[in-house]
Amino acid sequence: MASGGANYRNGTQRNSLKGTTTATDRQLSMNSNPSKAALKNKSLSSVGASSGLRKSSPGSLGGGTAKDDAGVPGRVRVAVRLRPRNAEESVADADFSDCVELQPEFKRLKLRKNNWDTDTYEFDEVLTEFASQKRVYEVVAKPVVESVLDGYNGTVMAYGQTGTGKTYTLGRLGEEDTADRGIIVRAMEDILADVSLESDSVSVSYLQLYMESLQDLLDPTNDNISIVEDPKSGDVSLPGATLVEIRDQQSFLELLQLGEAHRYAANTRLNTESSRSHALLMVHVKRSVKGRELAHSSQNGNSTNMAKSLRPTLVRKGKLVVVDLAGSERIDKSGSEGHTLEEAKSINLSLSALGKCINALAENSAHVPVRDSKLTRLLRDSFGGTARTSLVITIGPSPRHRGETTSTIMFGQRAMKVENMLKLKEEFDYKSLARKLDIQLDKLIMEHERKQKAFEEEIERITTDTQNQISEAERNYADAMEKERLKYQKDYMESIKKLEEKWMMNQHKLGERKDQTASTAEEVAELKKLLSKETSLRKAAEEEVNNLKSQLAQLKMSEASANSESLKLRKMLEDEAYRKEKLEGEISMLQTQLLQLSFEADETRRRLDRGGPGKVPGDLDSLISQVRPQVNDSVNEEKASIANLFEQVGLQKILSLLEAEDADVRIHAVKVVANLAAEESNQQKIVEAGGLTSLLLLLGSSEDETIHRVAAGAIANLAMNETNQELIMSEGGIRLLSITAANAEDPQTLRMVAGAIANLCGNDKLQNKLRGEGGIKALLGMVKCGHPDVLAQVARGIANFAKCESRASAQVIQFSNGTGSKTGRSLLIEDGALPWIVQNANNDASPIRRHIELAVCHLAQHEVNARDMITGGALWELVRISQDCSREDIRTLAHRTLTSSPTFLAELRRLRIDY
Ligand code: ADP
Ligand code: MG
């Protein structure tokens, strides 16, 4: 700002850049009495009793600049400007002197009342007809403009009669001559020179007030703008008015011209002149206070950017109002426009209301009728408010308008008494902070959204990667499994092949051996022939001897039996004789009784014949008939028992021979017993006669293989009956059979023993006992002999046992009375039968195969065996049986068993075998 400002502002220092306000600043209000000002500080409207004549410092209209919220007194400054005589006046008033005389050095104006009397008035500034526009601006408006730039409201107003130069003073654009530029143009120049276009803003509204209607000169369609007052701060605003932001002087000038053109058009439309309306230019200057911001930041050197950005900017909002008032002459005087009185009143309403308000303020009146007009409402801050106000009153020199001039001067004098309380319009710009934060928030939201998206994509990517990895791992695993399976299969096939090769090789070796022996075969054959001849001869001799021996035994036996029979017969004869004797005794007794009775009868008859009644005895015939059948029955019974006795004696005899000293006799006897035992009808008798016990004893005591074979055969036959089975068991049969089997060399002996045990295996009640006594072990021990007949019996035994077990397990399930082994597992498996079972399940010999197939099915029916069967390889046999077995019933049984076992099915699934 111009350094010469001090010249006009009297001690006011520009301090916007320094950002500080000193106490001195406030006290250097040279035009105000400091003590008075201090007293008036609390009342905005009070002007005190200061006189109309004031002592003002030369060249100064500006007062002290206030910075604090409380405000500082700032009286309305008034300058008077005299227009030079115009051409018409020069002619018309040529003979008259001016009605005013100016003494600018004393800031005095002398108003000539008449030729001899003058009144003297003192103003803040007295501007002669020679005062330049520049000087007028600097004296009247510049301090106000500077205040506005500092954040105060400011008013520059021109008051005066039409044609005295109000518009000349305020509104000249100076297009032809720059020196002509008026206050408005110069003020904007200064404002634009001082503000920063980056951080500050300058905007203007341009309005006209005519007959209490406020028109927008920047938008002619907007002709009824309402005035809004903030009830709290008292600030006046025109929200409806067009507000144009000014960036440079040229556009401002164009805007002013546009406004002027609109004003002309509006006035033509309203049939009035611009002198009848008030023109108001409002310049809003909004500045952000950087100095303070910097100072604040430096105090908090460690404050973060965020904290800085959260601090609202301090803004100062100064408003400059330039008012070109309507002509102050009374309308009825000019009268040329033909308005009615009411219209005239309305036209002047605002102006007269302004006069009244100024009067009230000047007189410190309790009531200031601000609300009487729109002009006074608009200017409430300019007079008695917080604005720095400068008023220029314009007067003409002509004595013909002395009255108007006088009233203008009086208006100015009163206005000089109006005291304002200047207040800094400084506030934190929360709105722009909010905007800034909004923008920041939006940025953050966008950033967040982007990050969120990226995060989601990353998650998705990781998920996909992981899924790929998992599926790859699964694939690898499946491949590995498949490879493993194939390898296992291959190994299996290879081992099978090797075994087959081995077998083939063995066969081959066997063949070779045969070939080698072929050469000697003939010799051997010959020798064999001789041997067989010898053997047959020996056998024939042996047979002969045997025959003879048996004949002898038979003879001995018949002799013995004849002896015992004769003894028996003799005894029976004796019994019979005794009975006969007894009967004869009885008969004689009866005969005696009969004789007695006949005698008694004769006696009675004689008594009757003699005429006397007597007792009649029982009938004799009926008595005899009662006795006779009893005699006959007892004879028949004797006959039957005798026949039975004979039979009994024969069997006993045979059985007793089992214990004969002579081995041949024993053999013969055991053969006879065996033959008898083969007949089912004899079995009961043999057992009852103790034959079974004898056979078992023989099995234990004899060392003869034939006896063993035949006895075992007999036991096997007897073992078909359930009662006998129990008896065999109770008499230690299993142990005896086991020993026999262990010592036997003849396959037929083994076959008999195996057959006997196989029969016992079929008894449900004997399962545990049989196993406990080593029955299963004994059976399995016999397989090493390899004879198909033996194997068939072993297989039958195992099948029988397995069948009983499966029945028992079904009952266990049904009744839950565990009677099997502790684990519930098959005793066959427990005793190690499974490998042999698996090995022989597909035996070429069909009896063996059948029994084993059945055994496998029975074992498989009990789920607890499944695991062992799988590991033992029995599952494959079961599968094979279910598919290949030639017997349909076994095939069906195998299939049903397999499909009802969850363990087997799971195993098949695990091995990926579709069943
Ligand atoms: P108002 O606006 O008060 O009605 P104007 O500004 O229109 O008066 O002035 C009326 C006439 O007087 C205009 O022709 C103007 O040029 C002239 N005039 C006013 N003041 C001066 C001045 N100080 N010096 C020269 N001419 C002036
Ligand atoms: Mg004018």
- Going by alpha carbons, the residue nearest to atom 11 of ligand 1 is 163
- How many domains are contained in the chain? 3
Tell me the β-bridge partners of 202.
Answer: 285
pLDDT at 508: 85
167 lines ligand 1 (CB under 6 A): yes
157 with 223, same domain? yes
Each as own residue / partner, the long-range contacts of residues 898-903 (CB below 8 Å, 24 or more positions apart, any chain) are: 898/860, 901/860, 901/863, 901/866, 902/863, 903/863, 903/866, 903/867, 903/870
Q: Tokens representing 262?
A: 């609109």
User: In angstroms, what is the span from residue 786 Cα to ligand 2's centroid?
Assistant: 148
Q: Evaluate whether residue 82 is within a structural domain.
A: yes
Tell me how far apart the alpha carbons of residues 353 and 373 are, in angstroms, rounded to a whole number.
6
CATH of the domain at 776: 1.25.10.10
668 with 796, same domain? yes
Cβ contacts of 558 within 8 Å, gap of 6 or more: none
- Going by alpha carbons, the residue nearest to atom 6 of ligand 1 is 165
275 lines ligand 1 (CB under 6 A): yes
* φ/ψ of residue 101, rounded to 5: -130, 130
871 against 297, higher pLDDT: 871
pLDDT at 28: 28
Tell me how far apart the alpha carbons of residues 692 and 680 are, in angstroms, rounded to a whole number.
14
Q: Indicate the pairing of strand 313-324 with strand 154-160.
A: parallel
Q: Tokens representing 77?
A: 């400054």
752 with 848, same domain? no
Q: Tokens representing 237?
A: 């605003």
Dihedral of CA atoms 88, 90, 94, 99 in degrees, nearest 10, equals: 100
Burial 412-426 (b: 16+ CB within 10 A, else e): bbbbbbbbbbbbbbb
pLDDT at 531: 83
- Going by alpha carbons, the residue nearest to atom 23 of ligand 1 is 83
56 and 107 Cβ atoms separated by less than 8 Å: yes
72 against 247, higher pLDDT: 247
Q: Indicate the pairing of strand 278-288 with strand 313-324.
A: antiparallel
| DSSP assignment string, 135-171 | HHIIIIIHHHHHHHHHT--EEEEEEESTTSSHHHHHH
677 against 81, higher pLDDT: 81
Mean pLDDT within 826-835: 91
Q: Evaluate whether residue 204 is within a structural domain.
A: yes
Mean pLDDT within 575-589: 78
Is the pLDDT reported for residue 146 higher than 80? yes
For residue 838, give the nearest of 878, 866, 806 by alpha carbon: 878
Is the pLDDT reported for residue 345 higher than 90? no
What is the SS3 assignment for 746? coil
Q: Evaluate whether residue 140 is within a structural domain.
A: yes
CA 243, 247, 250, 251 torsion: positive or negative?
negative
Q: Evaluate whether residue 48 is within a structural domain.
A: no
736 with 868, same domain? no
Boundary residue ending a domain (384, 404, 428): 428
Per residue in 623-653, pLDDT (tens digit) is 333 333 444 444 445 434 433 443 555 778 8
pLDDT at 613: 44
Boundary residue ending a domain (404, 428, 452): 428
Q: Evaluate whether residue 363 is within a structural domain.
A: yes
What is the SS3 assignment for 704? coil
797 with 828, same domain? no
**Known binder of ligand: residue 535?**
no
User: In angstroms, what is the span from residue 263 Cα to ligand 2's centroid?
Assistant: 12
751 with 860, same domain? no
Is the pLDDT reported for residue 93 higher than 90? no
Most informative mutation of 80, 83, 181 for ligand 1 (most atoms within 8 A of CB): 83
pLDDT at 233: 77
Instruction: Report percent pLDDT > 90 for the chain.
Output: 42
775 lines ligand 1 (CB under 6 A): no
168 lines ligand 1 (CB under 6 A): yes
pTM confidence score: 0.48
Give residue 257's pLDDT band: very low, low, confident or very high (50, 70, 90).
very high
Q: What is the 3-state secondary structure (H, E, C) of 421-464?
A: EECCCEEEEHHHHHHHHHHHHHHHHHHHHHHHHHHHHHHHHHHH
Cβ contacts of 817 within 8 Å, gap of 6 or more: 811
357 against 347, higher pLDDT: 357
**Known binder of ligand: residue 182?**
no
Index of the ligand 1 atom closest to the CA of residue 169 = 6
Boundary residue ending a domain (428, 445, 462): 428
838 with 793, same domain? no
CATH of the domain at 347: 3.40.850.10
Choose the weakest-confidence range: 68-82, 825-839, 855-869.
68-82
| Integer CA distances (angstroms), 538 to 48, 534, 535, in order | 178, 6, 5
Is the pLDDT reported for residue 420 higher than 60? yes
Q: Evaluate whether residue 631 is within a structural domain.
A: no
Give residue 683's pLDDT band: very low, low, confident or very high (50, 70, 90).
confident
166 lines ligand 1 (CB under 6 A): yes
Edge-to-edge strands, sheet with 100-103:
100-103, 108-112, 118-122
pLDDT at 846: 87
User: In angstroms, what is the span from residue 322 Cα to ligand 2's centroid?
Assistant: 13
pLDDT at 609: 59
Domain span at residue 848 reads: 824-914
Tell me how far apart the alpha carbons of residues 137 and 170 are, in angstroms, rounded to a whole number.
9
Q: Evaluate whether residue 345 is within a structural domain.
A: yes
CB neighbours (10 Å) of residue 439? 10
792 with 872, same domain? no
pLDDT at 433: 79
Tell me the β-bridge partners of 208.
Answer: 215, 279
328 lines ligand 1 (CB under 6 A): no
Index of the ligand 1 atom closest to the CA of residue 160 = 3
For residue 416, give the nearest of 25, 36, 5, 80 by alpha carbon: 80
Tell me how far apart the alpha carbons of residues 842 and 640 are, in angstroms, rounded to a whole number.
57
404 with 273, same domain? yes
pLDDT at 26: 31
Q: Which ligand is nearest to the CA of 158?
A: 1
86 lines ligand 1 (CB under 6 A): yes
Integer distance in angstroms from the first to the last C-alpha of the chain? 106
Give residue 309's pLDDT band: very low, low, confident or very high (50, 70, 90).
low
- Going by alpha carbons, the residue nearest to atom 16 of ligand 1 is 168
Per residue in 779-811, pLDDT (tens digit) is 999 999 889 999 999 999 999 999 998 888 776
pLDDT at 68: 44
Per residue in 723-767, pLDDT (tens digit) is 899 999 998 899 999 999 888 888 999 999 999 999 999 998 888
276 lines ligand 1 (CB under 6 A): no
The number of CA neighbours under 13 Å toward the Cβ of 426 is 21
- Going by alpha carbons, the residue nearest to atom 20 of ligand 1 is 165
148 with 81, same domain? yes
| Average pLDDT score over the chain | 81
316 with 360, same domain? yes
Give residue 605's pLDDT band: very low, low, confident or very high (50, 70, 90).
low
For residue 699, give the nearest of 648, 652, 756, 649 by alpha carbon: 756
669 against 713, higher pLDDT: 713
- Going by alpha carbons, the residue nearest to atom 17 of ligand 1 is 165
Tell me the β-bridge partners of 429.
Answer: 313
Tell me the β-bridge partners of 216.
Answer: 207
- Going by alpha carbons, the residue nearest to atom 5 of ligand 1 is 165
Index of the ligand 1 atom closest to the CA of residue 168 = 6
Tell me how far apart the alpha carbons of residues 399 and 118 are, in angstroms, rounded to a whole number.
13
Tell me the β-bridge partners of 217.
Answer: none
Tell me how far apart the alpha carbons of residues 785 and 751 are, in angstroms, rounded to a whole number.
10
Choose the weakest-confidence range: 151-155, 516-520, 820-824, 859-863.
820-824
767 and 805 Cβ atoms separated by less than 8 Å: yes
Mean pLDDT within 829-838: 91
**Known binder of ligand: residue 5?**
no
What is the longest distance spanned by two Cα atoms in the chain? 235
pLDDT at 550: 83
* Encoded amino acid at 478, one letter: A
Cβ contacts of 364 within 8 Å, gap of 6 or more: 45, 46, 47, 48
83 lines ligand 1 (CB under 6 A): yes
Tell me how far apart the alpha carbons of residues 689 and 261 are, in angstroms, rounded to a whole number.
158
Tell me how far apart the alpha carbons of residues 39 and 721 are, in angstroms, rounded to a whole number.
146
Instruction: Report percent pLDDT > 70 for the chain.
Output: 80
724 with 760, same domain? yes
Q: Evaluate whether residue 486 is within a structural domain.
A: no
Length of the chain (residues): 915
Is the pLDDT reported for residue 89 higher than 70? yes
738 lines ligand 1 (CB under 6 A): no
Cβ contacts of 367 within 8 Å, gap of 6 or more: 360
* Encoded amino acid at 289, one letter: V
306 against 34, higher pLDDT: 306
